[in-house]
Amino acid sequence: MSASREKKERQGTVSQGLTQKQLKEAKEAQAAKQKAIAYWIGGIVVTVLVVALLVWNSGFFQSRATAATVGSENLSMGEMQYYYSSVRNQELYTQQLYSQWGITTVTAPNVAYDSSSAEGDKQIYNTETNETYAEHFRESALNAAKQDLALINAAKEAGYTLSADGRTSMQDSLKDLKSQLKTKGWSSLGAYLKQAYGKYVTEGIYNTCVERSTLASEYSSYKQDSLTYTTSQLEGYEKENPALLQSYDFRYAYISGTPETKTDADGKTIEPTDEEKAAAAELAKSKADALVNGVEAAEIDKRSDAFNELVVDAVGDTSSYADPDNNLQSNILGSDLSSAAYFSWLSDTARKAGDIAAVPYSDGYYVLLFLNAGLNDTATVDVRHILIKAEAPVDDEATADVDESKNAPSQEALDAAKTKAQALLDEFNALPDDKRTAEAFGKLANENSEDTGSNTKGGLYRYVSEGEMVPEFDAWIFDSARQSGDTGLVANVAEGSSYYGYHVMYFVGQDGPKWHEKAEEALKEKDMTAWSDSILEPYTAAWTDAGIGAVGN
């Protein structure tokens, strides 16, 4: 008998030796084992499906789906939702802010956003095209994304990277945001971002978008700051645009022709009739004419007083225009008035002191009394500084009716700020003569100054005219003995100051007349617009169907 056959027979003999009960138990055990394996395998499948469903519902995959294309780059759902929410929040904030002052930032055919509307972003934005707010915000979001990408790609080509200050600012902002979450009742940053920006905006996407926008903004500022102009270029701009660079002095008042608002018993506004509108418009015209005629009847040198006396009858004694300090506009630059309805009258080269007129606008009239106009030839200087603030007192929560942080710092805090400022001044002055440059001082300013208005620009302020800075600062830079390269320490410790501390000073030198600053700003704006258009031109941008379906709906 072969070995294999003998083995099989032994196995058969052993099996035949089992009782029926034992055989039954063995079969049940085998079945249970197979069932357990089946459950285990099935459990894995179910677990995988559950996890996949949870991940899908969390927006993980959707947040990375392509929502828009900008040039050759695909932007995810999360990125575009960030841009959408950003432009939306900014526009609605602006509308609400100005509406508190009775100013409408949205004009026909566009309609202001109604925050009480159940339609939300689906409400109509443009009555002529029937464009909704969602469509408007999507277009704005696409433009914002295109601009960011164009700028950061231009920065890469120029070898420009995000500065250490820019990165630190981002990190500090994120840190502050996280620290506020608990006090605001948010369980996590992710929960806040979903509420503030949408369910597809994760912390990673948020950080990516913020860094992109920060770099874009920083490089744009860097590009603008790098633009320089000669005196002849500034003078050439003035000759081409004299009205925009003139500074104007005038008195004015707006006389409204809108009917008085009436409400019914339920408090709802009653729409005025055509007759009421016509009557209100006629009344406004008669008041404007009376003011003009009354002022014209006065002698030239007394017309300003006549205006202040007669304007009360036109606008009422509670109007801000009735206050002589409020209706007087002094040294207002033409470029700041260029969009005003009355600018063409005000800037007419034939205009002379004492001229007065009523200029129609909307449903009423602006009445203006021309006083003076001319180029601002005030002398200016350029200066760099490093601000070291004295640590402010901490508010005591036990005294809710008093804010101790508004108090002046302690002498100890003032001394500490002075010591730090003096150390920085000593460090700079210890440099060799050929190293003690404006650029070297600027580096110290960027690293140490607490003045957010200049600590990314080497502490530099240009075109500073007398009276613009705090008294001690002002007195130092306009000292008649001041020379380029002078350094010093200036205290700002006067009672009632908005901040207390010390300025480490570096005098750059004299600059052009004040109007040069405005000419330079205008040229920079013009050249930056042309440059921005040139870098945006190669980029096409469009939403995908998935993006339109998910963002803003």
Residue pLDDT, tens place only, 349-400: 999 999 999 999 988 999 999 999 999 999 999 999 999 999 988 877 777 7
CA 156, CA 387: separation in Å to the nearest integer? 32
Q: Are 373 and 249 in contact (CB under 8 A)?
A: yes
Q: Are 507 and 483 in contact (CB under 8 A)?
A: yes
CA 152, CA 335: separation in Å to the nearest integer? 31
CA 222, CA 528: separation in Å to the nearest integer? 11
Phi, psi of 473 (to 5 degrees): -60, -45
> Which residue(s) pair with 66 in the sheet?
76
Distance of CA 542 to the CA centre of its chain: 25
Helix, strand, coil percent values for the chain (each to nearest 5): 55, 15, 30
Output the six-digit token pair for 267. Answer: 């408090």
pLDDT truncated to tens, each residue of the chain (553 aa)? Answer: 433 333 334 344 333 344 444 444 444 445 444 444 344 334 433 333 333 333 334 455 456 699 999 999 999 999 999 999 999 999 999 999 988 876 788 888 999 999 899 999 999 999 999 999 999 999 999 999 999 999 999 999 999 999 887 898 899 899 999 988 878 888 899 999 999 999 999 999 999 999 999 999 999 999 999 999 999 999 999 999 999 999 999 999 999 998 988 888 887 878 889 999 999 999 999 999 999 999 999 999 999 999 999 999 999 999 999 999 999 999 999 999 999 999 999 999 999 999 999 999 988 999 999 999 999 999 999 999 999 999 988 877 777 777 777 788 999 999 999 999 999 999 999 999 999 999 999 999 999 999 988 998 999 999 999 999 999 999 999 999 999 999 999 999 877 788 899 999 999 999 999 999 999 999 999 999 999 999 999 999 999 999 999 998 8
Q: For residues 529, 533, 536 and 539, what is the CA-based torsion angle, rounded to 10 degrees? A: 160
CA 88, CA 196: separation in Å to the nearest integer? 11
